[in-house]
Amino acid sequence: MHVGIVTFPGSNCDHDVYHVLRHVLGAGVSYVWHKDRLPAGLDAVILPGGFSYGDYLRCGALARFSPVMEDVVGFAAAGGPVLGICNGFQILCEAGLLPGVLMRNASLKFICQDVLVEVQGAETPVTAGLAGQRLAMPIAHAEGSYFADGETLDRLEGEGQVTFRYAGGAPNGSARDIAGISGGPRRNVVGLMPHPERSSEPVLGCTDGRKLFESLLGG
Amino acid sequence: MARTARVYVTLKRGVLDPQGSAVARGLRTMGYGEVEDVRLGKFIEVRLREGASPDDERRRIEEMCRKLLANTVIEDYRVEL
């Protein structure tokens, strides 16, 4: 199992994801610079959190035009697992790989806190066997309020594409308390605002996030 | 001589605008009780090299809006050329 982690200018969670996959879970991992192509033979691709391109214009709007994204779109279309975390989720939405958009939090504040999210909907590469579980993970974002029109939201719910929902209400104003969704030809594209890489080791106080990476590596 | 396209990007009706609401509250607090609502948007100036036909110019700037300058899931745009 070999995972590619894309680094954009302004990504700042790429090393955290690398650390968890490599040192905690013993997987093969490579960084992929945003100007390069995806190397052949990857089993999964992760777009990490951060502030790609300084969040200029809109979060994720400029990163979607990085050269590597052409390969990421192709990889996703072929059914390859793609996970976008926080800014990575925003990039997936801007790139049209997932529907909707992440808007400024309703409170206008950057929110940094632990949340509980419930795994729902159809199984995805990062939620194998986790349906119904409530996972504790931290969020850290100013633009995490998920928005899509009513028709899109109904379709997401109807087709089991709401993968993560804030238990006990969204802290950021997200439509229908959505914390993460899935898409792609085999629900192989997943985006979520919480940070599983920051909750994968006992020393960090919580290991629930690790389950997502274990699912990804096990698939 | 460069031409300038003026692009106005605004949130679609029905999309919550927490920044606009905060500004509206601020104005009312300052005593401007007549303020009913405020919507925040972006104003973008794009300087264009001369050469393209007006039709092409219009078509290409609209394309820029759809592809990058606005996210049409939540935003509308208007171009002045």
Per CB-CB distance under 8 Å, the chain B contacts of A149 are 73
Do A148 and A174 touch, CB atoms closer than 8 A? no
Domain total in chain A: 1
Higher-confidence residue: B55 or A98?
Answer: A98
Per CB-CB distance under 8 Å, the chain B contacts of A144 are none
The CATH number linked to B56 is: 3.30.1280.10
Among residues 6-35 of chain B, which lie with CB inside 8 Å of chain A? 15-16, 18-19, 22
Q: Would you state the pLDDT for residue A68?
A: 97
Q: Would you state the pLDDT for residue A197?
A: 98
Q: Would you state the pLDDT for residue A173?
A: 96
Gap from A4 CA to chain B (nearest CA, Å): 26
* Rounded alpha-carbon distances, angstroms, from residue A195 to A42, A71, B81: 22, 24, 44
Report how far residue A62's alpha carbon sits from residue B41's, in angstroms, rounded to the nearest whole number. Answer: 18
Q: Would you state the pLDDT for residue A114?
A: 97
Residues in CB range of B13: below 8 A, 6 or more apart: none
Could you report the predicted ipTM of this complex, rounded to two decimals? 0.84
Mean pLDDT, chain A, rounded, equals: 97
Residue B5: is its pLDDT beyond 80? yes
Domain that holds residue A173: 2-218
Work out the average pLDDT over A86-91: 98
DSSP state of B15: S
Residue A219: is its pLDDT beyond 60? no
Work out the average pLDDT over A118-136: 98
Gap from A106 CA to chain B (nearest CA, Å): 6
pLDDT in tens, A96-113: 999 999 999 999 999 999
Is residue B50 classed as helix, strand or coil in its secondary structure?
strand
Per CB-CB distance under 8 Å, the chain A contacts of B16 are 103, 106, 147, 173
By Cβ distance, the residue of A58, A106, A148 closest to B18 is A106
Work out the average pLDDT over A72-85: 98
Q: How confident is the model at residue A42 (pLDDT cuts 50, 70, 90)?
A: very high
Report how far residue B27's alpha carbon sits from residue B23's, in angstroms, rounded to the nearest whole number. Answer: 6
Which H or E run includes B28?
Answer: helix B18-29
Q: How confident is the model at residue B3 (pLDDT cuts 50, 70, 90)?
A: confident
Per CB-CB distance under 8 Å, the chain A contacts of B15 are 103, 147
Work out the average pLDDT over A177-202: 98
The CATH number linked to A32 is: 3.40.50.880
* Rounded alpha-carbon distances, angstroms, from residue A90 to A50, A144, B5, B23: 10, 8, 28, 26
Domain total in chain B: 1
When computed from its CA atoms, the radius of gyration of chain A, rounded to whole angstroms, is 15
Residue A18: is its pLDDT beyond 80? yes
Do A122 and A187 touch, CB atoms closer than 8 A? yes
Report how far residue A147's alpha carbon sits from residue A168's, in angstroms, rounded to the nearest whole number. Answer: 18
The pair of three-digit structure tokens given for residue B15, joined into one six-digit string: 């999309």
Do A139 and A73 touch, CB atoms closer than 8 A? no
Which residues of A does the annotation mark as catalytic?
86, 195
Q: How confident is the model at residue A192 (pLDDT cuts 50, 70, 90)?
A: very high
Domain that holds residue B52: 3-80
pLDDT in tens, B57-77: 999 999 999 999 999 999 999
Gap from A116 CA to chain B (nearest CA, Å): 24
Residue with tokens 């009706």: B13
By Cβ distance, the residue of B15, B16, B71 closest to A58 is B71
Mean pLDDT, chain B, rounded, equals: 94
By Cβ distance, the residue of B15, B19, B68 closest to A108 is B19
